[in-house]
Amino acid sequence: MIAASSTALPLETVEPIAAVAAEDWLFVLDNYEYLLAGAVITVALTATSIVLGLLLGFPAGAIELYGGRFSSGVVRKAGVAIRGTPILVIMVFTFFVFPLEWLYVLPASEPFQAAVLALGVRSAAYQSQIFRGALRSIDPGQLEAAQSIGMSKREAIGYVLVPQALRRSVPGFQNEFTIVLKDTSIAFAIGLGELLRHSHDLMTQQTTAALELFVFASLIYFLLTISTNRTLDYVNDRYAIPGEG
């Protein structure tokens, strides 16, 4: 058995592959600072986009559900349009067409601003649906009970429905977070130096390290996903309603 396998896989052929791989891993390690700099941009882009998506998306979800006919119609149609457009198209639009100088508040590069805007608005379109679904899942009796003690509908929504819907949004939000994190790599296309772009830059310097570079990048995406999911699991448990679920 042993003899047979050593003829099938002679040492001479194994060694060079191992040697080449080691060299490429060394290349990855030598450039880890450059890769981590890309990872930092990825994290910053994810966080900013998610926050923008939250700030726009949650109110949009509430307006879509409770707003007047006009406002809910506008929000709903905008959501459909945005969700129906590929993220790459949105990003190319925000980068090449949208007048970014309107966003003079953001102390960041143009590609970063364009990417945040695209990812944030797209995420808002999805987060609005997460939140709307959570609001709708709450028993209408909760609203009536609040109104029956003299609260206006607005107060009832604010004090009774929204706090419950926020808790129910966490699992959907967890998903959305992962999607935004991975889609930051689209910003590659508009030249933003995020994690994937930096991996690619290095690959053009040493093409044999392509596999190692992308394994490394995937590992970072994976670690970021795991750690944010764990954090949100904790948030979910921490704010769970005692005695429920």
What does the binding site for other proteins look like in residue numbers (CB under 8 A)? 139, 141-142, 144-152, 155, 159-160, 163-164, 167, 241-244
CB of 72 to other proteins, least distance (A): 22
CB of 234 to other proteins, least distance (A): 19
CB of 110 to other proteins, least distance (A): 43
Please name the residues in contact with 224: beta carbons below 8 A apart, sequence gap of 6 or more. Answer: 39, 42, 43, 46, 181
**What is the phi-psi region of residue 243: left when phi exceeds 0, alpha when psi lies from -120 to 50, beta otherwise?**
left
Which residue type does 11 have?
L
For other proteins, give the closer residue by CB, 203 or 235: 235
The tokens for 237 are 């448990």
CB of 171 to other proteins, least distance (A): 17
CB of 147 to other proteins, least distance (A): 6
For other proteins, give the closer residue by CB, 107 or 245: 245
For other proteins, give the closer residue by CB, 73 or 163: 163
For other proteins, give the closer residue by CB, 158 or 172: 158
Please name the residues in contact with 105: beta carbons below 8 A apart, sequence gap of 6 or more. Answer: none
Residue 72 CA to residue 31 CA, distance in Å, equals 50
The tokens for 46 are 């994810």
Look at residues 134, 190, 186, 130 and name the one whose alpha carbon lies nearest to residue 163: 134
CB of 135 to other proteins, least distance (A): 13
CB of 144 to other proteins, least distance (A): 6
Residue 57 CA to residue 227 CA, distance in Å, equals 24
For other proteins, give the closer residue by CB, 46 or 169: 169
Backbone angles phi, psi at 107, to 5 degrees: -85, 65
What value, to the nearest 5°, has the Cα angle with vertex 169 and ends 91 and 68?
A: 75
What value, to the nearest 5°, has the Cα angle with vertex 244 and ends 239 and 245?
A: 90
C-beta atoms surrounding 242 within 10 Å:
4
